[in-house]
Amino acid sequence: MAVISDSNVSLLHAAPLARALAVPGDDCFTVPAGEASKSRAEWGRLTDAMLARGFGRDSVVIAVGGGVVGDLAGFVAATYMRGVPLVQVPTSLLAMIDAAIGGKTGVDTAAGKNLVGAFHQPLLVVVDPEALRTLPAAHLRNGLAEALKHAVITGRAEFDWFVANAAAMVRSSGPDAAIIAELVERNVAIKASVVARDERENGIRKSLNFGHTIGHAIETVAGFSILHGECVAIGMRVEAMIAQALGLAGTSLVPELEQALCALQLPLRPTAAMRADDVLAATRSDKKARAGTVEYALVREIGAVAGSEHSYGTRVADDVVLAALANALNA
């Protein structure tokens, strides 16, 4: 067994797990914490180190960490000796409810994020919400943005539960552990059910991109200085405004989203000024736009994603996007 983690998680969570499984220290590999480790260079170092330790076809890779470790170690497992079993032990909220579920693994390249990778379903995903006790608050909120996205695309009951419990998730004395545990359980179920219906993202899985076309563009324009979840928070609001401008959504979606974002202490807009045309231009460099068209997973109302007849992607005219951006970035 090879245990892979990062420099923040290694002592906190990977070492105790390795001890419990009697994995020797030399079979535990640690990469520097942060997105920069999701690289071919780290993939090369890890696979070389495993080869040097004599890992064979019968080995198992155990990924202990956030989404960075999960994606990187997952890609190691997908490729090592043409593929060995993978166990995901996610330790960030985002990894528990999103990255560890669904089988997407990979690394970033200079041309963009996640551009080299493979589908490799984990043999097992072990989620212990107790691990979140050591997660910094900003990273908890980062995961809460994706949980809000899940609630919006799932339905009214899910959304109402989420909003009713939002304050307990971000209270200053620390999150309510029971609420967080229930949140994790609900969101694992949501992500798993979407992926089970459409593993290769030809249809319903695209609805998970709600907030992400604009979110990724904002992330790019900000030079990755704003957390992904915060960009998705801003992106969901802009995309709700787009849906309203197109007449797909009524007038209640935007204020409902704003209320939920505020309850989670997530931003409505970037703190630094950002030009609408820069964000629009960045939507075109998104990997999902490579074919030349940019598609949005727009929401008609809580629980209803638009465009089921054309696999949940809606094309939007530039002037509509620019108007929503101008509106959202300034007000």
Contacting positions for ligand NAD (CB under 6 A) = 6, 8-9, 12-13, 33-35, 38, 65-69, 71, 91-92, 94-95, 98-99, 102, 104, 113-114, 131-132, 134-135, 139, 142
Within the chain, where are the H helices?
A: 9, 15-20, 40-52, 67-79, 93-94, 137-154, 156-169, 177-197, 212-221, 228-245, 253-263, 276-283, 318-330
The C-alpha torsion from 304 through 310 and 311 to 316, rounded to 10°, is: -70
Query: What Å distances lie between residue 83 and 45, 47, 325, CA to CA?
Result: 17, 12, 43
Q: Please work out, in degrees rounded to the nearest 5, the angle formed at the alpha carbon of residue 300 by the alpha carbons of 167 and 313.
A: 110
Nearer to ligand NAD, 97 or 329 (CB): 97
Annotated catalytic residue 139: no
Nearer to ligand NAD, 156 or 287 (CB): 287
Q: How far is the CB of 253 from ligand NAD (least distance, A)?
A: 24
Nearer to ligand NAD, 98 or 158 (CB): 98
Of 139, 150, 206, 216, the catalytic one is 216
Of 120, 205, 206, 237, the catalytic one is 205
Annotated catalytic residue 216: yes
Q: How far is the CB of 312 from ligand NAD (least distance, A)?
A: 17
Q: How far is the CB of 139 from ligand NAD (least distance, A)?
A: 5
Of 42, 158, 201, 239, the catalytic one is 201
Minimal CB distance to ligand NAD: which residue? 67
Annotated catalytic residue 120: no
Nearer to ligand NAD, 135 or 214 (CB): 135
Annotated catalytic residue 205: yes
Q: How far is the CB of 244 from ligand NAD (least distance, A)?
A: 27
> What is the token pair recorded at 129?
């919400």
Annotated catalytic residue 209: yes
Of 113, 120, 149, 228, the catalytic one is 228
**212-221 helix and 228-245 helix, angle to the nearest 10 degrees:** 130
Nearer to ligand NAD, 191 or 237 (CB): 191
Q: What SS3 state is found at 63?
A: strand
Whole-angstrom distance, CA of residue 150 vs CA of residue 180: 15
Of 191, 219, 237, 295, the catalytic one is 191
- Report CA Rg, the chain: 20
Annotated catalytic residue 191: yes
Whole-angstrom distance, CA of residue 59 vs CA of residue 3: 11
> What is the token pair recorded at 92?
């960030």
Q: How far is the CB of 118 from ligand NAD (least distance, A)?
A: 11
Would you name the residues annotated as active-site residues?
Answer: 82, 104, 146, 191, 201, 205, 209, 212, 216, 228
